[in-house]
Structure 1
Amino acid sequence: MSSKFTCVRLTIDGERFELLVRPDQALNYKMGKPIELSQVIGIEEVFSDAAKGMRVSEEKLQKIFRTKDFYKIAEIILKKGELQLTLEQRRRLIDEKKKAIISILSKNFVDPRTNTPHPPTRYEQALEEAHVSIDPFKSPEEQLQTVVDALRPILPLKSQNLVLKVKIPSKYSSKSIGLLKSFGKFLKEQWLPDGSYTAEIEIPAGLHPSLVEKVASLTKGEAEISILARK
């Protein structure tokens, strides 16, 4: 495999499908930035093992993807597959996400013993002590609850929380549940007769604007969100 390229891997029914792609362009594509697919692709081939140069036959591509069109197949692999980040990319993304998470913590949590924020350096130390793994692809907001749960045994934390009631139309419910769970703790959930989904969820107050924005985007503004309580 050329050092100019990295690999995107997708496994379907135990079969492995790999593309060789340009690292920075592929990362931009995965992060939703506007870039032509042709600028991402390094070699117009689908491999079962790119490192060994083992190509997938057209017959197998047709069977699995229902097409032999390379770019249609490449789009599926890029969107659903796992991008092998370079060391530099991984380090940079994790550092960016870590700084953003620490910023959220500093704005929304205090030391209950003093009612003042912990210094950013203390959060950095605690993240190391707790062996917190930062996901380079997930947003800081999606990772915040996991980080807070990991830090609490090490670092005293107090925040103002909100209890929200969220109602999602049926056509968006399956996609929305995972998003809601990434923001906080579920207190109650219910499926209504019309197929819509309601939940009461407790989240850090500082995440409220982000949750509203993401839910509105996912549901095209059709969801209903209200504040039930402040804790």
Structure 2
Amino acid sequence: MTDAKFTIVRLTLEGDKFELLVKPDPALEYKLGKRSDISSILVSDEVYSDANKGSRASTEKMMKHFRTADSMEVAKQIMARGELNLTTDQRRKMVEEKRKQIVNYIHQSFVDPKTHMPHPVMRIEAAMEQARVSIDPHKRAEDQAKDVVDALRSILPLKSETVKLIVKVPPQFAGQSYSVIKTAGDMRGEEWMSDGSLRVVIEMNAGMRGTFIDRLGSVTRGSAEVKEG
């Protein structure tokens, strides 16, 4: 556990500041997706414009930016989009966690163009150390991976690996699944069947395959069929 009893999450939108007082370790777990109950991480259920001064955010500004004045709903949006003020120990842990995610993403998504095989994890880690890559603990691993790959290319030959998937979704989930499929990669063909089910051929980065299948499974309650084309 950290020694601090609370820390602050900050989000600034069009010059308007929004802050939450949160418990450091539970808030970090929430940020990392290891905790889902927003109320369990809050020191106070107030939304502040300046937490140190105790100044509360106005209802008008919350409505303007979040379209709700419900403090719990606003808190969820601030946690999703805001920046958690990390302790030194938390920052180190979060950077290490993010580093592992980036290494894994590169390992799954890129191959050695000579062998068409993925580079070993230890080789990728060594190349990142050699290139002195800096990791942002707040940015998603996938969003940072492109810059990391660019930095590694002079040290490690990397070729992007793509995968083509054939996806079939039952009629009751076809509508809400469409946006998940469309944003996952390049759609190479779609067919709406007579019974209302959806069949799509999609090409995506190989590293996104697992995340895509998890998201689609969540929307379709595991009823979608996915196979390589």
Give the TM-score, by structure 2 length. 0.66
Structure 1 position 164, deviation (Å)? 1.8
| Equivalent position of 1:102 in the other structure | 103
Show the counterpart of 2:188: 188
Alignment of 1:161-176 (within 5 A): 161-166=162-167, 169-176=174-181
Q: For residue 207 of structure 1, report the CA deviation from its aligned partner.
A: 5.8
1:201 aligns with 203
RMSD after superposition: 4.2
Give me the TM-score of the superposition, normalised by structure 1. 0.66
- Is residue 162 of structure 2 the alignment partner of residue 157 of structure 1? no
Segments of 5+ residues of structure 2 without an aligned counterpart are: none
* Aligned pairs, number: 218
Q: Which residue of 1 aligns with 2:91?
A: 90
Indicate conservation of the 8 Å contact 2:166/2:228, yes or no.
yes
- What does 1:60-79 align with in structure 2 at a 5 Å threshold? 61=62, 70-79=71-80
Aligned counterparts of 1:152 and 1:122: Cα–Cα separation in 2: 13
1:121 is displaced (CA, Å) by: 4.4
CA distance in 2, matches of 1:52, 1:35: 28
Task: Report the residue type matching 1:203 in the other structure.
Answer: N
Deviations 1:175-206 (A, max 9, x none): 4444x24xxxx3636586979684521433x7
How far off its partner does 1:62 sit? 6.7
1:136-184 deviations in whole A, cap 9, x for unaligned? 563x6x4696355653453113576532234562223334444x24xxx
Percent identity between matched residues is 40
- Measure, in 2, the Cα distance between the counterparts of 1:69 and 1:210: 31
Contact 1:8 1:81 in 2 (8 A): yes
Cα deviation digits, residues 98-125 of structure 1 (max 9, x gap) = 2344356557765444677645443224
SS of residue paired to 2:5: coil
Match of 1:212 in 2: 213
- Which residue is 1:226 aligned to? 227
CA contact (8 A) 2:10 2:82 kept: yes
Relative to 1, partners in 2 of residues 1:164 and 1:143: Cα closer, same or farther, differing over 3 Å?
farther
